[in-house]
Structure 1
Amino acid sequence: MTPFKICGLSTPETVDASVAVGAAHLGFNFFPPSPRFVEPGTAASLIARVPSGVGRVAVLVAPDDALVAAVIEAGVTILQLHDAGAERVGELKSRYNLPVWLAAGVKTRDDIRSAEKAAGPADLLLLDAKAPNDAPLPGGNGLAFDWQLLIDTRPGRRFGLAGGLGIGNVADAIRRVAPALVDVASGVEESAGVKSVDKIRAFANAVRAS
């Protein structure tokens, strides 16, 4: 089964549900403008519920050193960076000896090539739909990009797929693109930032059906 990540968790019930359905990674969003934002202290109590074999991912947008230190103290095991480059990826990998993912927006083939260069020593390149110019968030906007771009210009490194994935299309995405990971946020929500336990279960079943 393709590993999957449930991103933007903020309640004990949805954390427990994500673990129960076999999510490989759980994501916690530390970007204040996001409706999925959690404070490091809140995240620590949620992360404490997660078994050691499940990845605890910090979603960070151009974070300063103090925030990175705070989320690591909260118990995250993977850093997912938005609006960062190869130098910052390498610096944090070296400093904390943790896996670092780079998330990047895609609209064109050139975006894929640019993302590969920016990823540098990242352990995973997470490809999402490029946010509209007026969007307040770099990802998690519920938008998909043209997956044919990844078929025509497949990255030469390990990559995950995000952006507009949900119960109805994730199996097709896995069959067509064969990513190392699929990542869902808004696709398992009742409203912005409010996860649904039933949708989390249905998403996991859809991944298994791929």
Structure 2
Amino acid sequence: MADIQTIKICGIKTEDLLDAAIDAGADMVGFVHFLRSPRHVTIEQLGNLISAARGRVESCVLLVNPDNSCVAEVAALGPDWIQLHGPESPARVSAIRHLAGVEIMKALPIGSAEDVAQIALFNDVADRVLVDAKPPKGADRPGGLGHVFDWSLLAGIDPNIPLMLSGGLTADNVAEAIKTVRPSFGIDVSSGVESAPGVKQKHMMEAFVRAARAAM
């Protein structure tokens, strides 16, 4: 068994799906504010979703290389977390963390040992590090593509780093992922609980959470 505390379902777009994610047993839900994503929600929708989540489940807003104006606008809505899923440098992550005043999760694309080495650079400037599969060349967005990376690349990672595992997780492979990686913070799913890009399914969320909890 792995000592994992957080199951995050990312890419929630409606209050009905928020309710379904909570009912399924999610500990955290993610809302994507990035126009090129099929899971994008507007600032107005973000505000409504964050309010609906408050006190029921932790909320996390995914941003990609945001400017200060965007960070301030999102932070004012009161999410528990902001997830940075772009090419933000450690210095930029630190600046956003200071500006936002909320906990920061930094996503890093993993495809090689060199990518894994980047994790240590962000451990001191982000509250959590999320590892995701490196997108293929030409991809129009940095995540949510359903790709799995080689989990063995994380074999030597410092167990004290609060790591969240993402990248192509589904109800069928999440138990193996947890057993192999033993991420210290939790796991994140998006496309693995969808019937099509951006189309979440309640029964898939329920199956994913069941499989993850059984492996913890």
Q: Give the TM-score normalised by structure 2.
A: 0.92
Partner of 2:78 in structure 1?
Answer: 75
One-letter identity of the residue aligned with 1:11: T
CA contact (8 A) 1:60 1:80 kept: yes
Partner of 1:190 in structure 2?
Answer: 195
CA contact (8 A) 1:116 1:125 kept: no
Which of 22, 37, 49 is 1:19 aligned to?
22
Partner of 2:43 in structure 1?
Answer: 40
CA contact (8 A) 2:32 2:62 kept: yes
Query: 1:54 and 1:70 mapped to 2: Cα distance?
Result: 21
Deviates more, 1:42-51 or 1:164-173: 42-51
CA contact (8 A) 1:81 1:102 kept: yes
- The answer as to 2:177 corresponding to 1:169 is no
CA contact (8 A) 2:108 2:131 kept: yes
Matches within 5 A, 1:1-210: 2-52=5-55, 54-82=57-85, 83-151=87-155, 153-155=156-158, 157-179=161-183, 180-210=185-215
SS at match of 1:122: coil
Deviation, structure 1 residue 118: 4.0
Query: 2:154 and 2:39 mapped to 1: Cα distance?
Result: 28
Deviation, structure 1 residue 53: 5.3
Query: 2:123 and 2:135 mapped to 1: Cα distance?
Result: 18
Query: 1:54 and 1:199 mapped to 2: Cα distance?
Result: 19
CA contact (8 A) 1:89 1:120 kept: no
SS at match of 1:49: helix
SS at match of 1:173: helix
Q: Give the TM-score normalised by structure 1.
A: 0.94
CA contact (8 A) 2:109 2:133 kept: yes
Give me the identity figure in percent: 36
CA contact (8 A) 1:89 1:119 kept: no
